[in-house]
Amino acid sequence: MTTLYIDGDACPVRDEVYRVADRLGLPVFVVANGSRPIRPTGRPNVTMITVEAGADIADDWIAERVTRADVCITSDIPLASRCLAKGARAVASNGKVWTPDNIGSALAGREIGRHLREMGLNTGGPAPLTKQDRSHFLSALDTLVRAAQRERIA
């Protein structure tokens, strides 16, 4: 069965994921380090996982469990890369689908941004999520889930 993994500390599309999961009968793991409390949903298919605080501990939890049949919802490029390496699918909250073809340049761009910030330059932050982004996300999530389910059946 396809499982949805949410990198939960800063995910603005949790409610959208829950609706898709409810509609398709999918389990969801919301993984966070507790730096921002996340309310339990009361949904039987959603499990909240709180890991200890620390760099990449939530990412490690997801990366250790995700499989080819699963989808990870994350804007964290290194986590997306780790999921892709395991054959899973990954999508950002703005609907950007991470693929083997685009993850390398995304990782390189992230590294350049980190270097510029270390030099004291302001690289800006992520743009606020728009209604169009949410629509793109829902479409991308649905497409990825269907592809994962088809692959699982084949």
pLDDT of residue 154: 61
The predicted model gives 13-30 an average pLDDT of 96
**Other C-beta atoms within 10 Å of 60: how many?**
15
User: Which of 58-67, 125-134, 145-154 has maximum average pLDDT?
Assistant: 58-67
Q: How far apart are CA 109 and CA 151, in angstroms?
A: 31
- CA distances to 10, 16, 152 from 23, rounded to whole Å, are 24, 11, 19
Distance between CA atoms of residues 21 and 84, nearest Å:
21
Check pLDDT > 80 for residue 123.
no
Cβ-in-10-Å burial (0-12, 13-18, 19+) of 143 comes to middle
pLDDT for position 38:
77
**Residue-range domains of the chain with CATH:** 4-100+132-153 (3.40.50)
Q: How confident is the model at residue 122 (pLDDT cuts 50, 70, 90)?
A: confident
Average pLDDT, the chain: 91
